[in-house]
Amino acid sequence: MRIATWNVNSITARLPRLLAWLESSGTDVLCLQEAKCAEDAFPFEELRALGYEAAVNATGRWNGVAVLSRVGLENVVVGLPGGPDYDGGQEPRAISATCGGVRVWSVYVPNGREVGHDHYAYKLHWLEALRDAVTADATGELPFAVLGDYNVAPTDEDVYDPAVFEGSTHVTPAERAALAALRDAGLSDIVPRPLKYDHPYTYWDYRQLCFPKNRGMRIDLVYGNESFAKAKRDAYVDRDERKGKGASDHAPVVVDLDV
């Protein structure tokens, strides 16, 4: 089974590339982030034509997550149980489902904006709620993973120049401690160092030629439980999908499982 995660940065803008990638990559399950559309505008029919069902948590604006599957879609949970509100409600940043005997969460962790901002505190609370919500699945026997845009680089090696990010979100000790707490719940980093690239970044800003200069960050992560880790056969960042006209600023992260 091939499972992937991809922040598409607007499914409407990225739809032709998404459909082409699904056909060429052989992906069975895709955890998608930043749909940037309401659920009634989600391209269910186009995906169904390729054999994919979709579970969606999206209200428009800047967030929105989904799980696309061609191997079944069961036990869907929309939202983050116990998750904090922001600006008057719970944002559409999490959805989970069981696909072909594997339990997956698609998550889009809050950005945090800047240290000291109320969105930064919200981010830390959100990660704490995520840890609490996934603990039961993490310690279960079913292969399980939380995939998505975590908006946290786990180590200094996961950014092109630590000095550039000093004092900024995505690299603070508190954010990295939240990731460590998630691992302590029974999960591990499934794609820590893919062999295809020395620096397997997953995100490059559109500005200042960041992609051609490889000024990136590894913030799109797959955290899986022991059963998921044992089933892993291969894992990589599909860097080529970041190239060319109309690309997302994130690349897909792909994991092959022997299940």
Measured in Å, how far apart are the chain's first and last C-alpha atoms? 7
- Taking 3-state DSSP, the helix, strand and coil percentages for the chain, each rounded to the nearest 5, stand at 30, 30, 45
Annotated binding site for Mg(2+): 7, 34, 149, 151, 249-250
Residue 115, both tokens? 């240290």
Q: Which of 41, 88, 94, 97 is nearest to 63 (CA)?
A: 94
Catalytic residue status for 149? yes
Active-site annotation holder among 28, 137, 149, 158: 149
Active-site annotation holder among 201, 236, 250, 256: 250
Helix (H) or strand (E) holding 20: helix 11-25
- Give me the residue label for tokens 């786990």: 154
- Residue 173 CA to residue 35 CA, distance in Å, equals 29
3-state secondary structure of 143: coil
Catalytic residue status for 238? no
Active-site annotation holder among 52, 108, 160, 203: 108
- Residue 195 CA to residue 202 CA, distance in Å, equals 14
Annotated binding site: 7, 34, 149, 151, 249-250
E strand intervals along 25-131: 29-33, 53-57, 65-69, 74-78, 94-99, 102-108
Is 199 in contact with 146 (CB distance < 8 Å)? no
For residue 40, the 8-state DSSP code is G
Residue 226, both tokens? 């022991």
Catalytic residue status for 150? no
List the catalytic residues.
Answer: 108, 149, 250
